Structure 1
Amino acid sequence: MSLQIPFDFAFAAAFFPEMLKGLWITIIATIGGFILALIIGLVLEGLRRSGIRIIVWLTDAWIVLIRCTPLLVQLYVVFYVLPRFGIRFDALTTGIICLGVHFGSYVAEVFRAGIDSVPRGQWDAARSFGLPFHVMWGRVILPQATRPTIPALGNYLVGLFKETPLLAAITVIDLFGAANNIAGRTFRYNEPYTVAAIMLLVVSLLAAYGVKKLEKRIQR
């Protein structure tokens, strides 16, 4: 008895351009969300190091709240609840904001570990030379703190990319949303979801390879 694989390559080729458009939206959401996560993570870590007790407490509370709340719930709140209070964003912008805020709370911990890894002598030397605050952080602390954070940040980049299918819940037609639409129109699920899985895997592998190359380059 021969084994037949229920996959129609001609059908997959017919909807492939639509899947590529969805993949482009996924990449935009990933890059936008990750850049926002880096900014938010650095700001949160800076606030925690402000030395002002109430700001430190509020920052810690915010990080715990975001990390303990599912990303899907955050998407629903921002997209469906906030418009009732006059705060409204389009679907893709909502997805980028939620991805950035959610992963920013994790990136803050990565920055904390990286900054803590800078030897105490580097801080003392920068202060002894009387370097301005922005020069000390921009030229001395952050360059040294960034190197050990690359592997962890790369993992979060790949993880963020794999979370983008959740944006389909707020009508973002990303790669997974495109697969859903095709399956809903044709009642054929094997081809679109298989193609989506393969495309996600390929991009994830490329991103992981790029992060590994960047890590080696920085180490040199």
Structure 2
Amino acid sequence: MLFGIEWDRSSDLAFAISIFPILMRGLWVTIQATFLGFFVAMILGLVLAALKSAPLKIISWPAYAITEFIRDTPLLIQLFFLYYVLPEYGLVFPAFITGALALGIQYSAYLSEVYRAGIEAVAKGQHEAARALNLTGLRTFTHVVLPQAIPRIVPAMGNYLVSIMKDVPILSVVTVLEMLNVAQIIGDRTFNYLIPLSMVGGIYLVLTIVASAGVRLLDNALPKRGLPLK
């Protein structure tokens, strides 16, 4: 018995059916970690991109330095730092939250470059028109630049969403019971690794295909001239 569910080793099919509900619990954790990590990455990445686009070097240079530091250090080290080091300074988070934050911080550095590329792709005339209309810098960024930049970067952001999903298994090192960790536990207790690992591989393949198709649909649905604002 594992997680309160019985499994049957009498046949491969029966065994696969018996462990499927357990893997679905791990799948739900995987999906939650993916979207929470991606949300953190989108918000923090946008902040870093905005800071790197600032005309003052005293603002842009530290943002570039932070981005390079995050990109050039392994995700596993960042995860261990958040999980083991921060509690020594009184910052204690649950393993799941810590893992999602680590994913979000790591990928925020990559998404900041995606945002920056989209921002720089907006024609300079748009900035000049905004200044001519006496718009503030913040309003220009939120109402003129971003609505035109986002449709251009949706495919790249979708690629990083899939990458985050495939990096979620690394959270198992801090005891997060995501799908691959659950499959490993099943293998350890039943001495049958082939079926649970094969099932996890198949589920990841389906998830990747669905996510990629969703990104393509969103990319085709967004107006290429920019998002409409009321």
Normalising by structure 2, report the TM-score.
0.90
Aligned to 1:4: none
CA distance in 1, matches of 2:13, 2:169: 24
2:30 maps to 1:22 = no
CA distance in 1, matches of 2:38, 2:86: 23
Q: How many Å apart are 1:219 and its aligned residue?
A: 4.1
Report how many residues are paired: 214
Structure 1: 4+ residue segments shifted above 3 A: none
The DSSP-based 3-state class of the residue aligned with 2:222 is: helix
Q: How many Å apart are 1:59 and its aligned residue?
A: 1.3
Q: CA RMSD in A?
A: 1.3
In the TM superposition, what whole-angstrom CA distance separates every residue of 1:160-211 from its partner, at most 9, and x where no partner exists? 1111010111100001111111111111100110111111110111000000
In the TM superposition, what whole-angstrom CA distance separates every residue of 1:95-121 from its partner, at most 9, and x where no partner exists? 110011000000000000000000011
Aligned to 1:164: 168
2:8 maps to 1:8 = no
Q: How many Å apart are 1:135 and its aligned residue?
A: 2.6
CA distance in 2, matches of 1:131, 1:58: 27
1:62-101 residue pairs with structure 2 within 5 A? 62-101=66-105
Counterpart residue type for residue 26 of structure 1: T
1:39-50 residue pairs with structure 2 within 5 A? 39-50=43-54
Aligned to 1:179: 183
Unaligned runs of 5+ in 2: 1-10, 225-230
Normalising by structure 1, report the TM-score.
0.94
In the TM superposition, what whole-angstrom CA distance separates every residue of 1:15-34 from its partner, at most 9, and x where no partner exists? 11110010000000000000
Aligned to 1:52: 56
Q: Which one of the candidate residues 121, 125, 131 is aligned to 2:135?
A: 131
Unaligned runs of 5+ in 1: 1-6
Higher relative contact order at CA 8 Å, sep ≥6: structure 1 or structure 2?
Answer: 1
* Larger displacement relative to structure 2 (50-59 or 33-42): 50-59
* Larger displacement relative to structure 2 (115-124 or 130-139): 130-139
Question: Does structure 1 conserve the Cα–Cα contact (< 8 Å) formed by 2:53 and 2:116?
Answer: no
Counterpart residue type for residue 68 of structure 1: D
Question: Does structure 1 conserve the Cα–Cα contact (< 8 Å) formed by 2:40 and 2:105?
Answer: yes
Aligned to 1:215: 219
